[in-house]
């Protein structure tokens, strides 16, 4: 089992991220190369890459994950939004390779009114433009909650993308527990059933990254609002509708073995998160 959380590259880049992860008792972590809401990025030279790698090697941190920014929308019917998404994804792939990560997690996109079929084909087009056949990292398509016009909230969507993208050997899957719960999959009482369905539709060999989050909503709400692991009514950020037992079962499940399991649970305030406590609980 590899447990970690989202960490910041503020300040000394990869070194700062690794040091923060280590302080939580993690053995892996996930980072954004900059703010997820914009395209502003530090130069690679200012990211303390070698220092970060050395700290990771010395402290047993490995199999780290990069997350692409939310502003990338490959499903967009707007040519400028689509073009920006493709171009920036190409740059993020390069950064992921330099950082030394094997996975960049991507929200595939929202069709914003063009319809699911059109949106999915637009994602195929974008991935075909962005992926290099010789790239060393994989794009992990994140399973989504289905809020608004968001795509990839069904396993069948992922299967379609895998079937249509030219260099689909560079595509894998990221399973987010909040997202799939909110999309309607029963991971509380039927995680094994979902994994059986996943294997039939996609193939378990494609599952490479897990995001471990509670949900503030009942199953099928299609809201995507994360909760702290097993939080009760007294939690200031709200109750977890998935529950500790189900999430602990998942991180200890065979399908999660040796894969990075990343927490993206809410901060209680600007200075307080529960990553250290939640990682210890799940272990």
**Packing angle between helix 191-201 and helix 155-164, nearest 10 degrees?**
20
> Is 264 marked within a binding site?
yes
> Is 67 marked within a binding site?
yes
Non-local (6+) Cβ contacts of 173 within 8 A are: 140, 141, 142, 143, 158, 202, 206, 207, 208, 209
8 A C-beta contact, residue 171 and residue 229: no
CA distance 210 to 120: 23
> Is 142 marked within a binding site?
yes
> Strand (E) positions, the chain?
2-7, 28-31, 65-67, 103-106, 138-142, 171-176, 207-212, 214-215, 226-227, 260-263
> Is 211 marked within a binding site?
yes
Determine phi and psi for 60, rounding to 5 degrees: 70, 30
> Is 111 marked within a binding site?
no
Instruction: Give me 220's structure tokens.
Output: 């099928």
> Is 226 marked within a binding site?
yes
Nearest to 179 by CA among 158, 199, 164, 165: 158
> Is 179 marked within a binding site?
yes
> Is 59 marked within a binding site?
no
Per the annotation, where are the binding residues?
Answer: 67, 107, 142, 176, 179, 211, 224, 226, 264
Per the annotation, where are the binding residues for Zn(2+)?
Answer: 67, 107, 142, 176, 179, 211, 224, 226, 264
């Amino acid at each position: 089992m590899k447990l970690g959380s989202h960490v910041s590259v503020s300040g000394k880049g990869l070194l700062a991220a690794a040091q923060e992860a280590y302080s939580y008792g993690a053995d892996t972590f996930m980072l954004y190369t900059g703010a997820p809401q914009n395209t502003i990025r530090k130069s690679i030279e200012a990211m303390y890459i070698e220092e970060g790698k050395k700290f990771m090697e010395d402290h047993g941190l490995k199999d780290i994950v990069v997350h692409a920014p939310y502003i990338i929308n490959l499903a967009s019917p707007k040519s400028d939004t689509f073009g920006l998404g493709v171009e920036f994804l190409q740059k993020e792939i390069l950064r992921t390779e330099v950082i030394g990560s094997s996975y960049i997690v991507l929200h595939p996109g929202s069709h914003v009114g063009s319809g699911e079929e059109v949106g999915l084909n637009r994602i195929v087009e974008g991935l075909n433009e962005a992926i290099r056949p010789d790239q060393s990292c994989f794009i992990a398509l994140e399973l989504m909650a289905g809020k608004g016009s968001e795509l990839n909230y069904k396993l069948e969507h992922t299967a379609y993308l895998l079937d249509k993208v030219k260099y689909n050997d560079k595509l894998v899957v990221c399973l987010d527990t909040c997202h799939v719960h909110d999309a309607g999959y029963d991971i509380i009482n039927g995680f094994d059933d979902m994994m059986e369905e996943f294997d039939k539709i996609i193939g378990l060999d494609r599952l490479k990254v897990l995001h471990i989050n509670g949900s503030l909503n009942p199953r099928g709400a299609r809201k995507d609002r994360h909760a702290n692991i097993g939080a009760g009514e007294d939690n200031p950020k709200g109750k977890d509708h998935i529950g500790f037992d189900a999430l602990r079962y998942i991180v200890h499940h065979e399908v999660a073995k040796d894969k990075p399991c990343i927490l993206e649970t809410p901060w209680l305030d600007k200075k307080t998160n529960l990553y250290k406590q939640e990682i210890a609980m799940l272990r």
